[in-house]
Structure 1
Amino acid sequence: MKLPDFLMALPALDIPFPEDVVESRAMRTEDALLVFFIFHKDAELPPHSHGAQWGSVLQGEVQLTVDGVTTTYRQGDSYDLPAGVVHAVKVAAGTIAMDTFEEPDRYALRR
């Protein structure tokens, strides 16, 4: 799957991964941040928490661990993390996910 050119023209985010691991394209409103994540390599985030997040796997696989329980999400699946929930994430190379964060300033935009 390839995202359309107009989405790839959106700004990237200042995230703690190099672009050879994951690319990002984002839209920000006053109320939320919508992000397309494109994973070129496997990636892992240690346990953390933040405001509410809703996401959907467009391609590939995302594993979320909450309270010691790991759930695997694949193409077409979505996940909903309430604000403050501690979770860890593993993402397989080749995954494209769309995530919406309730915190519009969760990540800074890069132009």
Structure 2
Amino acid sequence: MPLPAFIRALPAADIPVPEDLVTTNAMQSEDGLIVFFTIHKDMEIPPHSHGPQWGMVIEGRFELTMNGETRVCTAGDSYDIPAGVEHGAKLTAGTILMDVFAEHDRYALRR
């Protein structure tokens, strides 16, 4: 199920991933950033770290690796990534995620 039209109408986040792999829709305030990620092709996000992040799988599945431990997250699962914790992911085509970042400027928005 695609995201509702009002979410798809939100601006894109300026992420370093080609749009044929993933599209984004985001909302930003001075307190944080919410990004909806729609994955179009299987892809891998290499290990990295940043400020606190919380997310939820809306549809599909992906593998999340934190501190060397991997778990499979499916629709309805949430995950909490504390600040500075190294993490990476293997994302499956068709997956839709919602990530909330404490860093309001984690990604700029494309208007």
Interval of TM-score (by shorter of Structure 1 and Structure 2):
over 0.9
**Is there any run of 5+ residues in structure 2 with no aligned partner, and where?**
none
Give the Cα separation in 2 of the matches to 1:42 and 1:51. 25
Using the size of structure 1 for normalisation, the TM-score is: 0.97
Give the Cα separation in 1 of the matches to 2:43 and 2:53. 18
**Corresponding letter in the other structure for 1:20:** D
**Corresponding letter in the other structure for 2:33:** L
Using the size of structure 2 for normalisation, the TM-score is: 0.97
Could you report, residue by residue, the CA deviation over 1:55-101 in whole angstroms, capped at 9, with x for unpaired residues? 00000112111121101100000000000000111110000000000
**Count of matched residue positions in the alignment of Structure 1 and Structure 2:** 111
Aligned residues with identical type, % of pairs: 61
CA RMSD of superposed structures (Å): 0.7
- 1:18 matched residue in structure 2: 18
Q: Is 1:35 matched up with 2:61?
A: no
Question: After TM superposition, what 4+ stretches of structure 1 lie above 3 angstroms from structure 2?
Answer: none
Alignment of 1:24-103 (within 5 A): 24-103=24-103
- 2:7 matched residue in structure 1: 7
